[in-house]
Amino acid sequence: MYIPKIYKSEDEILMKSIINENGFALLISNKTHKILASHSMFLWNESEVPFLETHISRANPQAKTIKNGDEVLCDFLGAHSYISSSWYDHKNVSTWNYEAVQIYGKIELMNNDELYNHLDKLTAKYENSQKCPMLVEKMGKDYVENEMRGAFGIKIYPTEIDISQKLSQNRKEADYQNIILNLEQSPQENEKQIAEKMKKIREYNFF
């Protein structure tokens, strides 16, 4: 991922929050005559050696090509919004503000116990907020293990992490504040999120 120096971040907390809040991301591999990509659900595993974990369908052609030790790319897009050049006090081009993480990593295939634990954690993350959570323990181990036969569990150990936080850092104060004002007036949640993030980084950088 190309990241100009002004937008490049080394903030590990930011990286984890982008992954946690935008866990449905792209798993990209290149082991055949063409690039393969699958949208899949990711978790960041904070073990002694941290890694990403995910799964795809065993019927997915990508699952038939991935082997232990292969390198893959995981692409996470966080909050993002169009930025109109009409919000500046001078003629310029429009752009897009966004936060993103790309992680290159080496594959390690999950065994059955690891896949079961992965599905347990993943289900809990998204079910706990439901009125009547359908957790793995409620489904029963036999049922889950039967369903697991169609899942291909993957661990990805990072070899390179790129974090982009493009939030109009190159704009002068008047334009910066006007961008925030216009984003805050939008009904779109993504645009409001970008406004909040812009306020936080400018406060942080100022002090």
Q: Which region holds residue 145: left if phi is over 0, alpha if psi is between -120 and 50, else beta?
A: alpha
How many domains is the chain partitioned into structurally?
Answer: 1
Given a cut of 60, is residue 47 above it in pLDDT?
yes
Cα 75 to Cα 72: distance, rounded to the nearest angstrom: 10
Tens of pLDDT, residues 165-201? 999 999 999 999 999 999 999 999 999 999 999 999 8
Please write the tens of the pLDDT for every residue from 133-169.
888 888 888 998 899 999 999 999 999 999 999 999 9
**Does 178 fall in a domain?**
no
Q: Report the distance separating Cα 85 and Cα 108, nearest Å.
A: 46
pTM of whole model > 0.85?
Answer: yes
Report whether pLDDT(76) > 90.
Answer: yes
Is the residue at 123 inside a domain?
Answer: yes
State the pLDDT confidence band at 132, using cuts at 50, 70 and 90: confident
- In-domain check, residue 18: yes
CA separation for the pair 164, 79 (Å, rounded): 11
At residue 206, the pLDDT reads 42
* 177 part of a folded domain: no
Report, in this order, helix, strand and coil percent for the chain, each rounded to 5: 35, 35, 30
Whether 115 and 148 have beta carbons less than 8 Å apart is answered as: yes
Mean pLDDT of 99-110: 98
Residue 10 has pLDDT above 50, yes or no: yes
- Would you say residue 188 lies in a domain? no
In a domain? residue 89: yes
Predicted confidence band at 56 (pLDDT cuts at 50, 70, 90)? very high
CATH code, domain with 103: 2.30.110.10
* 181 falls within a domain: no
Backbone φ, ψ for residue 114 (5° rounding): -65, -40
For residue 141, what pLDDT is reported? 87
Residue 106: domain span? 5-169
All residues at 6 or more sequence positions from 63 whose CB lies less than 8 Å from its CB, including other chains: 56, 57, 152
Q: Is 126 domain-assigned?
A: yes
